[in-house]
Structure formats: structure tokens, C-alpha cells
Amino acid sequence: MTDPALPGAGDAYDAEPVRPAKRLTRSTTDKMIGGVAGGIAEYFGIDSTWVRVAFVASIILPGPQVLLYLLLWAIIPKNR
């Protein structure tokens, strides 16, 4: 029997669980068009509404926002 006060006692049980690597994928459950906003929201741990609002708000600025969305739709893999 090991003494819990000794260094190294119970180290095998105190170890952090191994978490799988975080991956950016398109959401299959939280999607309106292609799942890009839902996937970005899941990756960063925020509500997908905020990602969608930011995208719609960015439309008033000049730039290739719609093309960027289509590009992300093409290159981000679908969540399995």
C-alpha cells in the first residue's frame, strides 16, 4: 500500500485525460447553408448566432466575404 503523502503516489490516477486534437470542421447539426458558421462556432466555443451576425455585418464592408465563405465551404471538411 502506498502512502498518499509520498511524492509520486497515485500519479497514474492523477494524470489529465487525453483529449483529441481540436479540428475545424463544418457542422452537420448547426447549419443554415453549408455549416461553415456552425463549425467555426463549435471550434471557438461560441454561439453560432454571433458568427452569423458577424458575417452578415461584414457584408456591408468592401471585400470578398461571400467568396471567402464559399472557399471555406469547399476546404473545411464535413464533421463526421
Tell me: the pLDDT tens digits for 32-80? 989 999 999 999 999 999 999 999 999 899 999 989 999 999 999 998 7
pLDDT in the model for residue 19: 78
pLDDT tens column, 20-44: 788 999 999 988 989 999 999 999 9
Select from 43, 46, 52 the least CA-distant residue to 77. Answer: 43
51 in Cβ contact with 40 (< 8 Å):
yes
Whole-model pTM over 0.75: no
Helical residues (DSSP H) of 1-80, grouped into ranges:
11-14, 36-44, 48-58, 65-75
* 80 grid coordinates: 463526421
pLDDT in the model for residue 22: 86
pLDDT in the model for residue 79: 81
C-alpha to C-alpha distance for 73 and 80, rounded to whole angstroms? 15
Per the listing, cell 464535413 goes with 78
